[in-house]
Structure 1
Amino acid sequence: MDLALCFSGGKDSALAALLADPFFDVTLVTASFGLTDATAHAREAANALGFDHETVGLERAIAQQAVERMVEDGYPRNGIQQVHEATLEAVAAAGYDAIGDGTRRDDRAPTVSRPFAQSLEDRHDVEYVVPLAGYGRSAIDTLAAERLAIEQGPSDSLAKGDYEHELRTLLASEHGNSAVAEVFPEHTQSVVRGRRT
């Protein structure tokens, strides 16, 4: 069974791919608005992990709506949720048997509700798979450290291959660099460089 797993190039989605790999033919899929070359970083991480990689294009209007929601809210959660759901819709429409992501048990954003997951499955005739659903952050950090070569740093210092990078870029271009600092809390992100041997 083929699985399209939404992939940012970070440790959560990479670990999800490793956990799904024994059971599925995994392709890592990165969503892009075409605003930056962020998908190149995700493709490099996918290649380093030994997985095929594809890019799915999302309409710029989705990014603009998400950015305006973030500015209105003063935080990124709802905007990121909108983009994640649009990504799952786009990947589900691509014709895979199953789709999945690297969301974990204690994520605040993005999350996927049971009704949304069931609707996605019914409307697109796919299975929605969440390999990290039972894992919390501490367990994922431990497992990722054992299996993945990871670079970590402040969220604005790493070139990640995900839509958050593009949303930050659009936010800065439309509302200024100070808006990025106001909307996005500083946090540490990871970029996967390969598997540990």
Structure 2
Amino acid sequence: MRAALLYSAGKDSTLAALLLEDFYDVTLVTASFGVVDPEPAREAAAALGFPHETVELDRAVAREAVSRMYDDGYPRNGIQRVHEHAVEQVAAATDADAVADGTRRDDRVPTVDRPLAQSVEDRFGVDYLAPLAGIGRGAIDDMVAERLVVETGPSAEIPKADYEVELRSLLRAEHGAGAVDEVFPEHTQSRVRGRR
């Protein structure tokens, strides 16, 4: 069986891949609007020994998300919209038996609720998997420390291939650098460099 896992090169999506690899042939998939280079995800996938693909997302969804984030003054609803679109696009674009992500129990965003998961499964003939959905951040951090080499730092400084990087870039292009600082709170990001 083949699983296509939404992949940013961060610790959560990487841990999800490790949890699935005993049961699926896992392909790490970076969903992108074509704004940033997916190279950080490709490099991490190669270091971990997983194949990597990219799936193109609809730029209209990016514009909608950026507009929503700017109007809201925070990123939650825009990121959620993009993640739902990415799950659907990966399900539609791959020949996988399952589509997975690295969402965890205590994530505020993104999440995939039961109706969306069931809709994706019904419409695309795949299983939706969220292997970290029952695991909190503390346990995830412990598991990651045991198995992965990770670099961390401020979100603006860690090169990744995720929605946030692209949405920051699009927000900056449309509304200026100050809008990014107003909408996105500074937080720590992770990038996986390999296995221990």
TM-score, normalised relative to structure 2: 0.98
AA matched with 1:79: G
2:82 corresponds to which residue?
83
2:48·2:195 contact (CA, 8 Å) conserved in 1?
yes
Cα offset, 1:7, TM superposition: 0.3
Listed one character per residue, the Cα deviations across residues 149-173 of structure 1 (whole Å, up to 9, x for unaligned) are: 0000000111111121011001011
* Distance in 1 separating the partners of 2:6 and 2:22: 17
AA matched with 1:47: A
1:61 corresponds to which residue?
60
1:93 partner SS: helix
1:190 corresponds to which residue?
190
TM-score, normalised relative to structure 1: 0.98
* Distance in 2 separating the partners of 1:163 and 1:75: 14
5+ unaligned residues in a row in structure 1: which ranges? none
5+ unaligned residues in a row in structure 2: which ranges? none
Structure 1 ranges of 4+ moved more than 2 A: none
Cα offset, 1:115, TM superposition: 0.6
AA matched with 1:28: L
Cα offset, 1:96, TM superposition: 1.1
Count of matched residue pairs: 195
1:14 corresponds to which residue?
14
Q: How does 1:143-162 map to 2 (within 5 A)?
A: 143-162=143-162
2:36·2:161 contact (CA, 8 Å) conserved in 1?
no
2:9·2:44 contact (CA, 8 Å) conserved in 1?
yes
2:29 partner SS: strand
* Distance in 2 separating the partners of 1:133 and 1:57: 25
* Distance in 1 separating the partners of 2:118 and 2:92: 15
The sequence identity of aligned pairs, in percent, is: 67
